[in-house]
Amino acid sequence: GMTIELHVSACGNDSWSGRLPSPQPPHVPVDGPVATLHRARDLLRESMQSNGSVIVNGSCGTILMNSTLRLDDLRDANTSWAGVDMAVLSGGAMLSGWAPDGSVPGAWSAPLPLGGKCNFRQLWINGGRRTRASGEFLWTSLLDPADPSAELNRDGFM
């Protein structure tokens, strides 16, 4: 049978078709990749085609996964999955609200999700593991003192 190729990207949207590798048209997109592996799987299942290919593109950033992707032999056996452009999947929670931490020169902090009621062992920023310092609601990561602002628009996950 025919093979369907679907694309997944952090700059995608699960209401799109997934048939295009990047959002189109670029300025006000109306179609492009889907945002989650779950949606790509479901679209392939709905298509009733015998073969499928899912390409996960990492150029727009980390693909967040808020639940386990469940595949089964009957419906998903003929689907191939591939990553391009350093595709990264993360089940971690994204940290936002980074601000300079006045208590330690060169350090930044961000509030923890779930009101601080979370247990984690690792802190990753821009694909690299960072040193974490504990506090009741804050974790800090020492940044490059030459350009700490470069980290502001980057991904942080725990």
pLDDT digits (tens, 9 = 90+) for 73-127: 888 888 999 988 888 888 888 788 888 888 878 778 888 777 777 777 788 777 7
Average pLDDT, the chain: 80
Strand ranges in 37-134 using DSSP code E only, listed in sequence order: 51-57, 63-64, 79-84, 89-90, 99-100, 107-111, 123-125, 128-130
Residue keyed to tokens 């009741």: 136
pLDDT higher than 90, residue 30: yes
- Return the residue matching tokens 């502001």: 152
Return the amino acid letter for 81.
W
Q: Are 31 and 16 in contact (CB under 8 A)?
A: yes
Q: Tokens at residue 145, please? A: 């003192």
Q: What is the pTM of this model?
A: 0.71
Which phi-psi region, left, alpha or beta, contains residue 17 (left: φ > 0; alpha: ψ -120 to 50)?
alpha
Rounded to whole angstroms, the Cα distance separating 147 from 143 reads: 8
Backbone angles phi, psi at 96, to 5 degrees: -140, 175
User: And the tokens for 31?
Assistant: 């179609």
User: Are the CB atoms for 37 and 89 separated by under 8 Å?
Assistant: yes
The answer to whether the bond into 33 is cis (omega within 30° of 0) is no
Pairwise pLDDT comparison (94 vs 133), residue with the higher score: 94
